């Protein structure tokens, strides 16, 4: 069995998980992580980018830096379908 060279590009936690999977599942996970994960872009503790979100209450624009004045902010991105 040959080793997938893309595994070298993965974060150690992603690699350990991928290596624990059967080959079909591993292919899907590795392809997805290699394509979408961008660890070099933003890390825990990095300054908040200058972004604006839309309020769910009234659809007004809300600068994200206004949300972190008194409390920490956690952003979760993903597909919930």
Tokens coding 39: 């660890």
The yes-or-no verdict on residue 58 having pLDDT over 80 is yes
* DSSP per-residue letters across 12-65: HHHHHHHHTS-HHHHHHHHHHHHHH--TTT--TTPPPPS-EEE-TTT--EEEGG
pLDDT digits (tens, 9 = 90+) for 7-25: 888 888 888 988 999 988 9
Q: What is the mean pLDDT of the chain?
A: 81
Q: Could you give the CA distance from residue 50 to residue 41 in angstroms, rounded to a whole number?
A: 14
Give the structural domain span for 61. Answer: 1-81
Count the domains in the chain: 1
**74 vs 24, higher pLDDT:** 24
Q: pTM for this one? A: 0.44
- Is the predicted pLDDT of residue 73 greater than 90, yes or no? no
Rounded Cα gap, residues 7 and 34, in angstroms: 9
How far the first Cα of the chain sits from its last, in Å, is 35
């Amino acid at each position: 069995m040959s080793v997938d060279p893309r595994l070298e590009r993965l974060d150690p936690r992603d690699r350990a998980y991928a290596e624990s999977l059967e080959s079909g599942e591993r292919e899907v996970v590795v392809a997805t992580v290699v394509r979408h994960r961008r660890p070099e872009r933003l890390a825990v503790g990095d300054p908040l980018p200058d972004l604006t979100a839309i309020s769910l209450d009234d659809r007004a624009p809300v600068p994200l830096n206004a949300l972190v004045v008194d409390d920490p902010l956690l952003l979760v991105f993903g597909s919930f379908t």
